[in-house]
Amino acid sequence: MQLLSILALATSVAAGVPRDTTIAYVWEVLKWQAGESHGNPTAPVTGWFNFNVSGPRYGEVSTHIPPFFAHCEGTADGSPLSSNLTVCSLDKVEGGAPDAAVLARVLPVQDIQVHIAITYLFHPEDQPITPRNFTVIVVQDWARERPPHNFTVHPDEIV
Average pLDDT over the chain, rounded to an integer: 84
Closest CA to 140 of 153, 128, 130, 127: 153
The pLDDT of residue 12 is above 60: no
Is residue 44 reached through a cis peptide bond, with omega within 30 degrees of 0 on the bond before it? no
Sequence-distant (6+) residues with CB within 8 A of 14 are 107, 117, 137
Instruction: Provide the 3-class DSSP secondary structure of residue 33.
Output: strand
Count of CB atoms within 10 A of residue 158's CB? 20
Residue 155 pLDDT: 96
Residue 58 pLDDT: 93
The pLDDT tens digits for 58-102 are: 988 767 899 999 999 999 998 889 999 999 999 999 999 988 999
Residue 10 pLDDT: 46
Residue 1 pLDDT: 42
What's the predicted TM-score (pTM) here? 0.83
What are the phi and psi torsion angles at 145 (to 5°)?
-105, 10
Which range among 11-15, 51-55, 94-98, 140-144 shows the weakest confidence by mean pLDDT?
11-15
Q: Could you tell me if 133 and 9 are in contact, meaning their C-beta atoms sit under 8 angstroms apart?
A: yes
Range of 129's domain?
3-158
The pLDDT of residue 17 is above 60: no
- Domain count within the chain: 1
